[in-house]
Amino acid sequence: MNTTEDPRPPLPPFDSETAAQKVRMAEDAWNTRDPERVSLAYTQDSTWRNRSEFLSGREAIVQFLTRKWSKELDYRLIKELWAFHDNRIAVRFAYEWHDDSGHWYRSYGNENWEFDEYGFMQRRIASINDLPIPESERKYHWPLGRRPDDHPTLTELNL
């Protein structure tokens, strides 16, 4: 960890409340679609596997997210806690987006997260599948940005 950085609570070991809080904080950050902001939740040397892509370090994360959100337009994400133990959290998620041709997709996936003692994610492993959907089947209609607190969860949406 960079000693000039403040810890990012909640810190491990996680309980059900702090794990759920960490998941919502990650969802909120990703829904900003701000690569720089999102990257600050990760260690300087964080390692990722995202689909078939392997990344290491914050700069690579920023570059990856910049590419991602230039392709995945009107991105809206919901994450849900699946399991936790000590410094690890498992998450399931679904997000909706469209390409530059106006074709809509819902992307489903699972992530495994591992945190350092300061609350920074040091490892992220993501498996994701994309499902083309007609625009009429979209379920995420909130304004871009943070999902409203009263919006249904993945479980409530049957996703």
Instruction: Say what the alpha-carbon torsion angle 17, 19, 22, 27 is, to the nearest 10 degrees.
Output: -100
Look up tokens 């370090």; give the residue.
Answer: 57
Tokens read off for 18: 């702090």
- What pLDDT is attached to residue 4? 76
pTM of the predicted model as reported, rounded to 2 decimal places: 0.96
- What pLDDT is attached to residue 2? 52
Model confidence pLDDT, tens digit, residues 14-64: 999 999 999 999 999 999 999 999 999 999 999 999 999 999 999 999 999
Report the alpha-carbon distance of residue 31 to residue 75 in Å, rounded. Answer: 7
Report the alpha-carbon distance of residue 23 to residue 46 in Å, rounded. Answer: 17
Q: Facing residues of 78 across strands?
A: 94
Q: Which residue has the higher pLDDT, 2 or 59?
A: 59
Model confidence pLDDT, tens digit, residues 97-132: 999 999 999 999 999 999 999 999 999 999 999 999
Q: Which residue has the higher pLDDT, 49 or 2?
A: 49
Q: Facing residues of 95 across strands?
A: 77, 107
Q: For residue 1, is pLDDT > 60?
A: no
3-state secondary structure of 159: coil
Backbone angles phi, psi at 148, to 5 degrees: -60, 145
- What pLDDT is attached to residue 3? 59
All structural domains of the chain: 16-137 (3.10.450.50)
Report the alpha-carbon distance of residue 109 to residue 93 in Å, rounded. Answer: 5
- What pLDDT is attached to residue 145? 97
Model confidence pLDDT, tens digit, residues 62-101: 999 999 999 999 999 999 999 999 999 999 999 999 999 9
- The amino acid that residue 18 corresponds to is T
Residues near 51 by beta carbon (within 8 Å), at least 6 away in sequence: 126, 127, 128
